[in-house]
Amino acid sequence: MAKEFSRTQRIGDQMQRELAQLIQREIKDPRLGLVTITGVDVSRDLSHAKIFITLMGQDDDEEAVKGNLRILNEAAGFLRMQLGKAMKLRSVPQLHFNYDASIRRGVELSSLIERAVAEDRKHGDERGEE
């Protein structure tokens, strides 16, 4: 019977859960915003992991994103050590934090679609009245 998910996917999913808890509980930097981990991409040889984050509850301006990424990348060694304690892996991947703009882009596209539909309805009502 074939496995449904590869080992790297399972490790990435577990890392996502563990990191979400570790960032919330262990990182005490007051400059760090409300970080949500949207995904973890682990390399096949388990040497590197790209962690994709979004920021909730604040403006996604470029300075806030850069500041939060800087804090997380500086804490990567500490987080890696804590992951090693929490997960039973022979070697824990190097952590690389990246901003995931897909959610913000999705919200922008959704608002554009809603605006276009509203404009279409307005023009349809005008045509119906003539």
Residue 38 pLDDT? 92
* pLDDT over 80 at 92, yes or no: yes
- Percent of the chain past pLDDT 90, that is, above it, reads 43
pTM above 0.75, yes or no: yes
Q: What is the pLDDT of residues 1-58, one digit of tens each?
A: 456 778 889 899 999 999 999 999 988 888 888 888 999 999 999 899 999 999 876 6
DSSP per residue, 42-95: E-TTSSEEEEEEEEESS---HHHHHHHHHHHHHTHHHHHHHHHHHS--SSPPEE
